[in-house]
Amino acid sequence: MAQLSSKVRVCSAAVEILFVTSELAPFSGASVSPVAEAAAALPKALRGLGHKVTVVSPLYASIDPMARSLARRLSTFSVEAQGRSYACTVYDGRTTGGVDLIFLGNSELFATEPTATSSAEQHALEAAVLGGAVAQLVQKREPAFELVHAQGALAGLALVALKAALPQLPRVLSLHDLGHDLRLSSGEHAKLQLPAALHDALANESVLGAAVRAADLVVTNAPTTARTWASDRSHALGTLFAEKADSFLGIVNGVDASIWNPITDSQLTARFDPVDLSGKARCKATLQYELGLSVNAQTPVIVALGALSPERGGDLIAETAARVMRNDAQLVVLGADHEQAKQLQPLATDMPERIALRATATDKERHVALAGSDFLLLPARQPVLVDAALCALRYGTLPIVTAVGPLADMIVDADAKLETGNGFLVPTTEAADVLATIQRALAAYSLPEAFDALRRRVMRTDVSWERAARRYEYAYRQIKAAAQSAA
């Protein structure tokens, strides 16, 4: 874990920050990935704190520069690879939040966005060209960037190139998932013919490993995750993580408070806040009515979002649903386009007034569901839909989740009297434990005064990106000051 020294003097001046990302919401990506979402939300929050922020990302063919108000510039950056030169055209723009945008276009290389089916060689080529072009951009930029933050391993090769070109420039890497690392075979590595710094870095390391080694600070989206990764000897990069353990830092992500706010949410039937919860009761009635459920304010509504995949614990939901329905409760599943949903269909057919299944979920439906439900059910085996748990807290919907990834840091198990905690933690991913935790949550709901107090307290919790941005701000200033003192 990163130990940010208290001896380093922290300055209060604004920092000139460059974010590098392979995906950027809402510009790229058919669905918002953790990388794309963080690359959009964190810069916006930092800009709100007064920092000067620029985000650079590939200009994929799906991004229309004219529709996005992006201006093409005459400057280009060329990177040598595969025995040829890849020229990247520069487009720039600015978000309504004041974040500057730079897109690097190459119609051949960035014709499509990265997918799971793309080869390791193609992924590495795109990452290397992006990283090499960003290094040139940083070297020519006036005024100079004071810190570079790469989102994800694919953007991390920019840190490798910058470490060689500008070793004193502070470099930060955010890692969202260790499961998508790229390791090149000797033949693939030789075929790429990358610039010297990138060639050497990837000779004996994976893309993720090279990025981690080049970073001054490696940030994960939760302290528990950071500690786990920094001590994980079973992972292929365990030795490297052990070497860099003091450079790992966990910062819990946030949600965009301007979008997920029950006081201002235009998608809701009624607004509400921790002081006046009457609007939430109306939202619940609307949800029940629109989904064909019995409209009953006293019946707790449990919502599950997204495909019922094993990663999200969908099989556990399907396995326990019948026994959960023995209680006075309703179950709503939005986006149930997975095999596990078929197991729930007979039950939903028998109990249409208590179970609602929908194959897809629009953005409005997600807002309405979280506002009108009492519990969010996410017995996940992998850290997925983490932002949904934070959004649920904003809307006074208590999460029933397993303590995986960031959820272990976000959600604190409520005690029997509901005087502490902000949700209900499932101790294991066994169906019996999932059922027992749901029943414990339903028992808590039967204590209206205590549950109301818990709901109000949870809604007052700051889960915004601004809270996360202040932690990043402190870390940035520390490593920036440390780099200056070492120069």
Residues 295, 244, single domain; the answer is no
- Of 21, 133, 48, the closest CA to residue 472 belongs to 48
Residues 225, 114, single domain; the answer is yes
pLDDT at 114 over 90: no
Residues 60, 97, single domain; the answer is yes
pLDDT at 317 over 80: yes
Query: Is position 9 within any domain?
Result: no
- Of 51, 79, 62, the closest CA to residue 24 belongs to 62
Q: Residue 5: what pLDDT?
A: 42
For the chain, percent of residues with pLDDT exceeding 70 = 94
Residues 54, 154, single domain; the answer is yes
Residues 201, 349, single domain; the answer is no
Query: Is position 5 within any domain?
Result: no
Q: Residue 10: what pLDDT?
A: 41
Q: Residue 438: what pLDDT?
A: 98
How many structural domains comprise the chain?
2
Residues 320, 188, single domain; the answer is no
Question: Could you report the per-residue pLDDT of 389-413, keeping only the tens digit for each?
Answer: 999 999 999 999 999 888 888 899 9
pLDDT at 92 over 90: yes
The answer, yes or no, to whether the previous bond of 26 is cis (omega within 30 of 0) is yes
User: Containing domain of residue 124, as a range?
Assistant: 16-254+466-486
Of 415 and 119, more confident? 415
Question: Could you report the per-residue pLDDT of 12-32, keeping only the tens digit for each?
Answer: 578 999 999 999 999 986 556
Residues 297, 422, single domain; the answer is yes
Residues 168, 32, single domain; the answer is yes
Tell me the average pLDDT of the chain. 90
Residues 228, 290, single domain; the answer is no
Residues 23, 101, single domain; the answer is yes
CATH code of 83's domain: 3.40.50.2000
Q: What is the mean pLDDT of residues 354-365?
A: 89
Query: Is position 476 within any domain?
Result: yes
pLDDT at 7 over 50: no
Query: Is position 6 within any domain?
Result: no
Q: Residue 309: what pLDDT?
A: 85
Q: What is the mean pLDDT of residues 109-128?
A: 80
Query: Is position 4 within any domain?
Result: no
Q: Residues with Cβ < 8 Å from 359, sequence gap 6 or more? A: 335, 336, 337, 341
